[in-house]
Structure 1
């Protein structure tokens, strides 16, 4: 066992794990009113979770740990990591912004007090089995049944109880963004409000395998009409009351960051194009009722079902899937 620890510790870290080589070192002063600054900080805090787990796996501690600069550089402190109860891996972290620091513009209303961040899948022996099982749960819309999601919800509620929600962020990448999205949707339905930064969130819909554009549009419109008819027949339209979960969710506008070269998240582009098109042809109400019909199926609600988002599409060239899906 001791020999294994030594071997792990001597394994060189990749350049992507070192903040001063691959992090946004240009952000020597954070302007919280600047969307690009907020995006970069959120991504760095997610990357910090990845490196926390890599540090754990490589037994890098104290001065050898590579994770701290990913949050220290922006004047955050790590309150505690979130540990999976199945494989003991670090899958998330709770950060607190330090008060009265010189690097941050605290006159801005957009600065968070707390950020709860979640990593995605790590293809290493320590984590691969557990992470891939959760990836499958995402595809099957069963992520809400996992203990990792339950731990995430507990963490968010613990912070909400202390700080309220006006200055709490959620952030995640890939599987971590799926957890953030699911947590954000559910706390929103409970009447809370959190800001969310979701990088390459998985889109759980089989229609993405269809390449022909007009056929895909036709299927989307037909599906909306059928679902709206079912919702009307069941009387689901009554759930559109002002204090209902659907109305509350309509006020939540997370930030989504997707890459068209990444098949895992690119479905959001067509998803929101369809919603926009339905509004243009005066069928927005039909689409909202159709979405309501799906949202009320709480046991199998598709993860990607959200009503609004600030969607950022990465149009830079991606040489391969790994680059397109990575949090760079």
Structure 2
């Protein structure tokens, strides 16, 4: 049985009958709605809702988008993503100077109902182990992104995702950015795997833990560079890649009451505070590495860089108080009159 949130006319942003593509709130709301469209596509598949019974189409048709392609997992045949094309009426011709995209590639997060749940949890575990890049679902996703960029160019394409789908979009965005293709990205509630330091209420204790962690991480990274002379060239490439990524500024949308993504707040704020106390050099080295990745390299095992390591981002916080399930939900991001705070962080 369909829930109320699956019906666009009950829970969708009906106030956006005229989208202003230069308005950041409108852009965020449309991107979130198209991610919701992917969720409902999969629920339609599970419930065998087709034709007039399908509930997904209003989530993109309301904004003049058409569904070009569904992205289907090869393991369980669930729909995890979609490619949408902006197709306004002839009286409202496409105009890239208007700020609208030509295409949006969107990815859903974990679905807790139906037969997609076990596969989604498997992907969640791959993410926690920093192995999302090795999954067949990501291979399908990145091939779709590469093909779209090769055909239409990166200026015409947006990425969007929520939760696990946000991790998928972030990994795709980072992968493309390393080739010089910087895609606009809307990453809703992106997961951050670490100890929940941001949940500590005592500001001094929290800041002290972060400083200690930075010193240890930077020290470990420096020691490995000195000790492992044979890997010096590889380490330099790692640093160069991080610096090159700094030109990509994805949009991160985070709720402080969502412990799955709230650590991004401290991740970026701490970098600024370290600069203010004169420890910017330590933090610039620490922020390029994770303790887990350094440890794996130390014991001779290659480790992919942690996904949360981002040089730059436009971080938007929803400061509206909420319980966890509300704070982690995609639906919050298209609501009007939110208590939002945005900060631009650029790596130097």
Please indicate, yes or no, whether the TM-score normalized by the shorter chain is above 0.5: yes
- Do the aligned partners of residues 64 and 190 (structure 1) sit closer, same or farther apart at CA in structure 2, a change above 3 Å counting? same
Tell me if structure 2 keeps the 8 A contact 1:141–1:302: yes
State whether structure 2 residue 48 is matched by structure 1 residue 59. Answer: yes
SS class of match (2:97): coil
Kindly report which structure 2 residues correspond to 1:224-303, keeping only aligned pairs within 5 A, or say none: 224-233=214-223, 234=225, 238-239=236-237, 244-294=240-290, 299-303=303-307
Q: CA deviation digits over 1:168-217, x for unaligned, max 9? A: 11100111001111111111112211011011111111243862443332
The answer for the alignment partner of 2:110 in structure 1 is 121
Residues 70 and 102 of structure 1: is their aligned pair in 2 closer, same or farther, counting only changes over 3 Å?
Answer: farther
Secondary structure in 2 matching 1:292: coil
- The answer to whether the 8 Å contact 2:198/2:206 transfers is no
| Contact 1:96 1:113 survives alignment (8 Å) | yes
1:8 counterpart residue number: none
After TM superposition, list the pairs within 5 Å mapping 1:107-186 onto structure 2.
108-186=97-175
Secondary structure in 1 aligned to 2:22?
coil
Cα shift at 1:305: 1.1
- Taking the aligned partners of 1:16 and 1:180, their CA distance within structure 2 comes to 23
Alignment of 1:49-128 (within 5 A): 49-98=38-87, 101-102=90-91, 106=95, 108-128=97-117
Deviation digits for residues 52-84 of structure 1, max 9, x if unmatched? 001101111111111111111111111110001
For 1:140 and 1:110, how far apart are their aligned partners in 2? 37
Give ranges in structure 2 of 5+ residues lacking alignment.
226-231, 332-348
Query: For the residues of structure 1 that align with 2:289 and 2:41, how far apart are their CA atoms?
Result: 40
Confirm whether residue 305 of structure 1 aligns to residue 305 of structure 2.
no
* 1:321 is the counterpart of 2:324: yes
Whole-Å separation in 2 of the counterparts to 1:278 and 1:172: 31
- TM-score, length basis structure 1: 0.89
Encode CA deviations 1:222-248: one digit per residue, 9 max, x unaligned: 22223333444415774488xx32222
In the alignment, the residues of structure 2 paired with residue 249 and residue 275 of structure 1 have an alpha-carbon distance, to the nearest angstrom, of: 17
Q: Does 1:217 align with 2:207?
A: yes
SS of 1:108's equivalent?
helix
Q: Distance in 1 between matches of 2:321 and 2:209?
A: 30
Change (3 A) 1:231 1:102: farther
Structure 2 Cα separation of the partners of residues 257 and 103 of structure 1: 30
**CA distance in structure 2 between the aligned counterparts of 1:125 and 1:228, rounded to whole angstroms:** 44
Cα pair 1:228 1:290 within 8 Å, conserved? yes
1:231, 1:292 within 8 Å by CA — same for their partners in 2?
no
Unpaired runs of at least 5, structure 1: 1-10
Residue pair 1:141, 1:204 contacting (<8 A) in 2 also? no
CA RMSD of aligned residues (A): 2.2
Are 1:28 and 1:103, in contact at CA under 8 Å, matched by a contact in 2? no
Cα distance change of structure 1 residues 281 and 165 upon mapping to structure 2, 3 Å threshold: same
- Residues 240, 149 of structure 1: alpha-carbon distance in 2 compared, 3 angstrom cutoff: closer
Q: Is the 8 A contact 1:259 1:266 kept in 2?
A: yes
Equivalent-residue separation in structure 1 for 2:85 and 2:253 (angstroms): 23
| Conserved 8 A contact 1:172-1:180 | yes
Residue correspondences, number: 314
Match of 2:344 in 1: none
Contact map agreement 1:74 1:103 (CA 8 A) in 2? no
From 14, 34, 38, the counterpart of 2:23:
34
Query: Alignment partner of 1:116: what SS?
Result: strand
